[in-house]
Structure 1
């Protein structure tokens, strides 16, 4: 019986406490209108997207990434497409998986890269950039290294 009282007494006390009520008091509070303030956040260090965009803008096919004989035959769109493909292949490409691009008037190309190799504390990759203009292939092979600022530069090239 004593156990029963010890178990039931707290349950009964809680049940009775829940039944007790007090009259609600109504208090009206005035609230001033809140105008959201813009939050300006500037990263201390550039984000990877900012670094990628900056590096892409300074990578140029005219700096040894494309056969020099093909450059005068390429339009601005060809160069932009080739430049973008070259950068993204070097930056993110899987070894042996070519990145295709297409420009104006049937001009096409592909960029294939090798695995990353560490040389003098720089990430380097071999590349093969093929440009096809009017049915003729222009091939440029070389090694590109990513500088500390994120820019890719051709270290050596062979036609």
Structure 2
């Protein structure tokens, strides 16, 4: 039994060693690696044209605060709007559904929650809720934002 086990282990070691060898050594000592075959399409096979559409970087344009309730927008300073804009962008672009993204700046704070991605008219869209708290009062705006072809997130509803 021990002899059978020893033969099996030696055989296994030889098989594994044979599988992991990727190069052969010629007589002068330099390894020679085989090149992968380049496959060409079969004659008569339709080929897909290369997609030449440039990839647009996602962004949320500053100055378009359609995602903040109009009742508080005029009361927010530049730093507060910037913090809200950043939180809105990161929530839309990277946020997990139901996991709020919070922000705080100069006495104002907010929270952005997003839903799952949905495909609408070939655009990636997400429902959102952006809550802003200023001077103890809370303002909430909900809607749908879609990432346009140019990469900009825009509020559609």
TM-score by length of 2: 0.63
Deviations 1:17-38 (A, max 9, x none): xxxxxxxxxxxxxxxxxxxxxx
2:132 maps to 1:152: no
Counterpart of 2:85 (choices 83, 86, 99) is: 83
Deviation digits for residues 94-135 of structure 1, max 9, x if unmatched? 00000000011x210010000000000000000000000000
| Aligned equivalent of 2:16 | none
Note the C-alpha offset of 1:89: 0.2
* Residue 92 (str. 1) matches residue 78 (str. 2): no
Q: What secondary structure does 1:109 align onto?
A: strand
Q: Secondary structure at the match of 1:108?
A: strand
Consecutive unaligned residues of structure 1, counting only runs of 5 or more, are 1-43
Show the 5 A alignment for 1:118-129. Answer: 118-129=119-130
Contact 2:97/2:114 (8 A) holds in 1 = yes
Higher helix share: 1
- Runs of 4 or more, structure 1, over 4 Å off, are 44-48
Q: Number of matched residues?
A: 106
Structure possessing the higher radius of gyration over alpha carbons: 1
